[in-house]
Amino acid sequence: MVNMKNILIYISIVLLLLAGIILGVNKNKKTIPKEDNTIISKMKKINYYNKMYKDRYLKYYNENKNLSLEDIITRVNLNLDKDYYTNTIKTPYQNKDYILVNKYIYMDSSYIPENLVNLDQSYSRSGMKLVKSAKNALEKMINTAREDGYTIRVMSSYRSYNYQLDLYNRYKNADGEEKADTYSARPGFSEHQTGLCIDVDDAEVNYTDFEKSTSFTWMQENAYKYGFILRYPEDKTNITGYTYESWHYRYVGKKIAKYIKKHNITFDEYYVRFIENKM
Ligand SMILES: [Zn+2]
């Protein structure tokens, strides 16, 4: 015979447990306003949502309601809600065309890219180097530009950690750290250490005036076809953390360059959406 008293005890225990769970859930819910929960559940559908950053997303959302949820998540993932050079991490990738280096992601002082090769002196000064994939693409681009009547020259390419250290210290001593940080990368944080980027000029203008040259217009229309992007555009300084540099181009490969050009985004944004935690 089944003992009726025992069954009643079991049912009571189950009911008490259920009540406890429901009360517990409600208690948690009280700490987050209903609107925030709706926002978070929408954010969770975006595939680069990171549950560790939930509170930061909400705070950034409340401060930037004009931005899309994709932009909120992208910018928090990039650490843009934190001061430059805080929350920094070492790049998890080495010797890849898709390494991201910015004011939150750095390379070790010992990092020297593999496959560094010399650039031809017909378009650069002696001793300049780039990673081979970037150099090959650069030469194709420069040769086509030349056929079209434009003379693009390389003024700076790979820079070692120590070179950047000297450069940054010189700027810092002259202008102070705050000012130097607006135009020069700290050692380890310079994209030039990747061996994947170049500063260019046109034989007729100084590199800082590159945007005034017809070569610049040519680059705007064609660089992506060779895998290069304008890395620090004028209207993206709040995302890249760098003032506009019309002369600084980064090799990311044709596929990524084409996407960035088509969607008018930065490499930083591309990285969060398609590379970070996915490669
Ligand atoms: Zn540069």
Residue 11 scores a pLDDT above 90: no
> Percent of the chain at pLDDT above 90?
81
Tell me what pLDDT residue 122 has. 94
Say if CB 185 and CB 191 are below 8 A apart: yes
- Residue 192 Cα, ligand 1 centroid: separation in angstroms? 6
pTM above 0.75, yes or no: yes
pLDDT number for residue 155: 95
| Ligand 1 centroid distance, CA of 248 (Å) | 5
Is the distance from CB of 130 to CB of 198 less than 8 angstroms?
yes
CA of 273 to the centre of ligand 1 (A): 24
> Which of the four pLDDT bands, split at 50, 70 and 90, describes residue 247?
very high
C-alpha distances in Å from residue 30, one per residue of 36, 180, 212: 11, 47, 58
Task: Check residue 203 and give its pLDDT.
Answer: 83
- Residue 6: pLDDT band (50, 70, 90) is confident
The CATH number assigned to the domain with range 89-275 reads 3.30.1380.10
Partners of 131 in beta bridges: 116
* Of the listed ranges 14-23, 157-166, 195-204, 239-248, the one predicted with least confidence: 14-23
Which residue's entry shows tokens 């030039």?
192
Give distance in angstroms: CA of 200 to centre of ligand 1: 8
Instruction: Give the Å distance between the CA of 58 and the centre of ligand 1.
Output: 35
Q: What mean pLDDT value characterizes the chain? A: 93
What pLDDT is attached to residue 16? 80
CA 190 – ligand 1 centroid, Å: 8
Return the closest-CA partner of residue 245 out of 189, 197, 277. Answer: 197
**pLDDT value at 30 more than 90:** no
Residue 122 vs residues 35, 249, 254: alpha-carbon distances, Å: 61, 19, 24
Predicted local confidence at residue 249, as pLDDT: 98
For residue 32, how far is its CA from the centre of ligand 1 (angstroms)?
Answer: 45
The torsion angle over the Cα atoms of residues 232, 233, 235 and 238, rounded to 10 degrees, is: -10
What string of DSSP letters covers 96-151? -TT---SSSEE--TT---TTEEEPPTTTB-TT-EEEHHHHHHHHHHHHHHHHTT--
pLDDT at position 136 is 98
Residue 75 has pLDDT above 60, yes or no: yes
CA of 72 to the centre of ligand 1 (A): 28
Catalytically active residues, by annotation = 245
